[in-house]
Every structure is written in structure tokens, then in C-alpha cells.
Structure 1
């Protein structure tokens, strides 16, 4: 997950799919490790949240080096949706695809956490 900005699109989809499936499992330790941003860890250990924070920090540094970042990101998103042809060559496409996968994965994790929270709240006495 820490290399999401540098890995191929299909690898990122596979990694995030596995992490999403693990997040869905009703195991308290997996839930805590993958979905709790406030988990206490031993020095040197990383949680999914800490990895994502590090990736976003790296992304914020890289964005400044990419001219026309937002329009390029929009174009890559449209390409992935099949709304734009593949004809135009875009630089930094791996990074831009990684940003899109990261964004969608974060939304998916938020939805999983939301559903698990409400499921736990409704089953409590």
C-alpha cells in the first residue's frame, strides 16, 4: 500500500481489494488494525492509517512538480471510466492512476467503517 503512487494500476486494484476484504471480516484485531486511526502501536510499527497518511504526505510533495495536475487527473479518471480515448499521451500516468485508486479506496474504507459502526451500535443493548 505504501507504494500505491508508483505501482501499476492493476497491482493497486489487487492490493486495495485484499485490504477491503480483510476490513470486512468481523475480527476485532483486524478491525482495529485496519480501521482505527487511533490504535496504539509499538515503535516502528505502522497501521493502515499511518501508511495512508505517509502516502498522502508524499503525494502533496509530488503534486507541486506536476504541471496542470488537476486537469491531468480528471483526464486520467475519464480514461479509466472509458469516457476519453487513449490517444493523448499523459506524463505521470502511474502516479495519477495511483491517486485515483487511493481516493476510491479511502471512500471504500470509510463506507466499511460506517457500516460496521452502525451494525455494532444496533446490536448493542
Structure 2
């Protein structure tokens, strides 16, 4: 479950970033990005190049993919990811679903449910068995 949660997070982060760069054509502004064209950008009145940068490279897509890769890395080593990762992403996903209901937030919910179920299952397996004959 944890592995699938991690790969789902990687998919969401990578798809968002690559989709913004290609389908939304954000990459056509790369010349402006790398020439210092955003250095004095006013966030209240973003240029098309600034908006494209925030949609793609400066979005939460790249860090979400990294979080997913960390979850997969931990799972491969038999380390259970901390539940706060799932809870934090869950809060972020709920806000996203309320603000932008027509985004693929259900994939985030799927990853979070898988991650929480996997961490819970791992916690049950790692819990020490009660000793016979000793009071609890």
C-alpha cells in the first residue's frame, strides 16, 4: 500500500509539472525565466511568464514528486513513513478540492488513504505482543 501511495504521489507531481510545461505551454516562457525576466515580478500583477512559472516549475508538483519518491525509498528499506506526511497532504488536498473542485484531487485522496492504511498496518505489525502473565 505504501509503495502504491508513493508512486501515486510521484505520478501526480510529475504529471502536473510536465502537463503545465507541455499541454499548458508554460515552457515557451523559459527564455524569460532564465534571462532574469522574473526578478522584479509583481506577484499581485503577474506577467504571463510569471504565471507560467508558478504553474509549472514553482508549483507544488516537483516537491510532491520528491515526497512520493521519499515514500517509495522508505518503503523499499522497510521504513514506515510517518503518518504526518499523509495527514499534511490530506489537509492540502482538502483545501485544493474546495478551492479547485475540478482538479485531479481524488488521486491525492487515493494516495493519502493508501499511505494512512499502510502506516496503520505497519504499526500493528511492529507493535510488541503483550507478555503472558504480566498485568497490563
Instruction: Indicate the TM-score class for this superposition, using the shorter chain for normalisation.
Output: 0.3 to 0.5
Between structure 1 and structure 2, the one with the greater Rg is: 2
- TM-score, length-scaled by structure 1: 0.37
TM-score normalised over the length of structure 2: 0.35
Question: Higher helix fraction: Structure 1 or Structure 2?
Answer: 2
